[in-house]
């Protein structure tokens, strides 16, 4: 793999190509905090719509009071990227359908329960462009 200055090595050339092809409003499914952190260094989040979505707990997990610690990590990373850190909770089957329509899905091997995440690309404000 070719390593470039300023580009996290976790971002493969293929993934960088996909990120560059994406337009405003396109969605990307990701699932691991380290990769999310790297992507958010390059990826402007949508500020006009929900910039991130996770699969909501199914009813039986809600009744059990299941906690999803990885969501706190996602929220912190989204805040660091300039978002409010909130994400939309999407019903399980609606999440699957939304993921099918995403511009790209990144298979990460994430094992956290409810660890799937969809992020929506925004635009880079003129004052932040090079």
pLDDT at 93: 97
| Phi, psi at 67, each rounded to 5° | -95, 145
Residue 55, classed as helix, strand or coil, is: strand
- pLDDT at residue 107, as a whole number: 84
Cα 51–20–81 angle (5° rounding)? Answer: 35
Whole-angstrom Cα distance, residue 97 to residue 91? 10
Averages of pLDDT over each 10 residues, the chain, 130 residues: 75 89 87 87 88 96 96 95 93 96 88 93 84
pLDDT one-digit tens code per residue, 18-48: 999 999 999 887 668 889 999 999 889 998 8
pLDDT of residue 31: 66
User: Residue 1 has what pLDDT?
Assistant: 52
Q: How many angstroms separate the CA atoms of 28 and 51, rounded?
A: 10
SS3 10: coil
**pLDDT the model gives residue 7:** 85
User: Catalytic amino acids?
Assistant: 24, 46, 96
pLDDT for the residue 70 = 95
> Among residues of the chain, what percentage have pLDDT more than 70?
96
Q: Domains of the chain, with CATH numbers?
A: 25-121 (3.40.1650.10)
């Amino acid at each position: 793999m070719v390593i470039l200055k300023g580009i996290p090595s976790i971002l493969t050339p293929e993934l960088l190509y996909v990120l560059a092809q994406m337009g405003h409003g396109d969605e990307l499914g990701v699932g691991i905090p380290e990769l999310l952190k790297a992507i958010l260094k390059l990826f402007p989040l949508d500020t006009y719509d929900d910039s991130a979505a996770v699969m909501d707990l199914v009813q039986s997990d809600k009744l059990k009071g299941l906690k999803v610690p990885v969501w706190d990590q996602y929220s912190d990373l989204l805040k660091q990227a300039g978002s409010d850190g909130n994400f939309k909770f999407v019903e399980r089957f609606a999440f699957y359908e939304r993921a099918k329509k995403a511009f790209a899905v990144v298979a990460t091997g994430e094992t956290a329960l409810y660890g799937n995440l969809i992020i929506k690309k925004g635009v880079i404000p003129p004052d932040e462009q090079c």
